[in-house]
Chains A and B, each alone.
Chain A
């Protein structure tokens, strides 16, 4: 399909383990965002990529969180030494770039830390 895809759709991990979440944006979209949605809450911004660079990382909650983007396409969000409070749905969105406003979201990865 032509939409944003994310993998895995679900991830259960033990506390202290590292996890990697993947996002494939819409082809040609230069802007990419990661958000986190805790149960029953709205989305909170984590990080923004323009191309392969991340000019805004202000939403990353701690240095255990990092993200990269390669080839102006795929992005991975890595959480090291996971904690139970990291349990949430992690959503990726892409935007065409330039003066466009609309962000298009993937289905998310539901992360459960036990």
Chain B
């Protein structure tokens, strides 16, 4: 069974600070996706990384896929209150259905 360990589960920081969220697994994934979920809504895709060592930037967010495609990180620079939300990482299975294995999520709160 593939598992993704996401940490931290909760993070509360002040506006302007930097933060990193981690997703780790002993399994190899074909892709790693990061989602953001607001209360009462479905997850919204932020980014997909598919190549080991790949780095993608989305404004103040930087996503990295580990060289061995087993782990990933999300780094936010100069966090803003609008970044508050639930962040989910999800790994795509290597074969077959491309079903996603989700981490438990990181509930991020940015205080003004």
User: Which interface class (under 10, 10 to 19, 20 to 34, 35 or more) fits B?
Assistant: 20 to 34
Query: What is the count of residue pairs linking A and B with beta-carbon distances less than 8 angstroms?
Result: 67
A103–B45 CB distance below 8 A: yes
Contact of B45 with A102 in the complex, beta carbons under 8 Å: yes
Contact of A104 with B45 in the complex, beta carbons under 8 Å? yes
Majority secondary structure of chain A interface residues (helix, strand, loop or mixed):
strand
**Given A42-B88, A56-B97, A105 and B43 touching (CB < 8 A)?**
yes
Given contacts A43-B102, A45-B100, A95-B98, contact A101 B42 (CB under 8 A): no
Of B30, B41, B104, the residue contacting A101 (CB under 8 A) is: B30
Within A60-114, which residues are at the interface with B (CB < 8 Å)?
Answer: 91, 93, 95, 101-108, 110
Instruction: Decide: A101 near B96, CB < 8 A? Known: A4-B42, A107-B42, A108-B42.
Output: no
Given known contacts A42-B103, A101-B31, A103-B33, A31 and B41 CB-to-CB distance under 8 angstroms: no
Closest 9 pairs between A and B when the two form their complex, measured CB to CB: A105-B42, A42-B102, A48-B97, A56-B97, A101-B31, A43-B102, A45-B99, A42-B104, A105-B43
Please list the residues of chain A having a beta carbon within 8 angstroms of any beta carbon in chain B.
Answer: 4, 31, 33, 35, 41-45, 48, 50, 55-56, 59, 91, 93, 95, 101-108, 110
B interface residues with partner A (beta carbon < 8 Å): 4, 6, 30-31, 33, 35, 40-45, 48, 50, 88, 90, 92, 96-105
